[in-house]
Amino acid sequence: MPPIALISDLGTRDYFVSAMKGVILSINPNASIVDITHELPKGNITVAAFTLVNAIETFPEGSIAVAVVDPGVGTKRKCILVETKNKMFFVGPDNGIFTLVAERFKVKGIYEIANRALMRPSISATFHGRDIMAPVAAHLSLGLKPSEVGPRLRTFKKLKIPKPKLVKGGISGCVLNIDDFGNVISNIDARTALRLLRLNRFARIRFKGREFPVKFVKTFGDVKPGEYLCYIGSAGLLEVAKNMGNLAAAVGAELGDEIVVGGGVKK
């Protein structure tokens, strides 16, 4: 039986996540439910898309992801089901949250969730995760065909995620995510970064007009505690960090900020 993975910005202090799980288990008592995270930045669809794609790629075929970062809940935005070519299913709002899974895994089919029989009898205007998305995921785990959720769609909303670009003396990118350690994850992919940076040499990093040197290394232990470093992280993107410290707090980096990386020389 395929697992159902939940990801949201709902937090864990309220009843929201447990209510979704209760709905799933009421339909499929044998469901395997996995929490990706419920601590995403409130309403940040880009970080949600990034987190979802990097977590779900390790899951087995047939996995079902329910993504609830939904600032447009209760409006005319659709709830959708996306089936990808690697045989995974994604249930959530049509707000761009599936942009990166579509890019990485390619889309096999998109469906509007419209079959009222699959939803809870009463639907809240503010909690579609519980009343629409969770029950659909539960039915999928029991073998429901994607076409049974509603009409097929030709496309869905996609985020405009900036691409890194070469500029005079370096690469311009943006802060795509800041992890719980305060490490800054850029949108600069490894291939682009390696066009400019050389291992064990210093690079120049600029945030908000402030420039400082960081050493480009393989991992944290290659520099001393308290020193700055940059490296290719587990998501295949250039990250900047402070060994045993919080880089984002130290330099005032925020989500969406421009980051400019320039090559350097041995220091």
Domain's final residue, options 153, 179, 212: 153
pLDDT, one tens digit per residue, over 82-123 is 999 999 999 999 999 999 999 999 999 999 999 999 999 999
Pair (71, 129) in one structural domain: yes
Pair (179, 250) in one structural domain: yes
Q: Taking residues 236-243, what's their average pLDDT?
A: 97
Nearest to 176 by CA among 190, 188, 167: 188
Specify the CATH number for the domain of residue 97: 3.40.50.10790
Distance CA 262, CA 257 (A): 16
Pair (120, 186) in one structural domain: no
Tell me the whole-structure pTM to 2 decimals: 0.94
CA dihedral (143, 146, 147, 149) positive or negative: positive
The answer to whether residue 52 is domain-embedded is: yes
Pair (169, 148) in one structural domain: no
The answer to whether residue 159 is domain-embedded is: no
The answer to whether residue 105 is domain-embedded is: yes
Distance CA 67, CA 38 (A): 10
DSSP state of 77: P
Going by C-beta distance under 8 Å and a sequence separation of 6 or more, which residues neighbour residue 84? 90, 101, 102, 105, 106, 107, 108
The answer to whether residue 267 is domain-embedded is: no
Pair (191, 129) in one structural domain: no
Specify the CATH number for the domain of residue 243: 2.40.30.90
Pair (50, 127) in one structural domain: yes
Number of domains making up the chain: 2
Pair (148, 169) in one structural domain: no
Residue 166 banded pLDDT, cuts 50, 70, 90: confident
Domain region containing 72: 4-153
Pair (45, 104) in one structural domain: yes
Pair (108, 39) in one structural domain: yes
The answer to whether residue 160 is domain-embedded is: no
Pair (121, 183) in one structural domain: no
The mean pLDDT of the chain is 95
Q: Taking residues 1-10, what's their average pLDDT?
A: 97
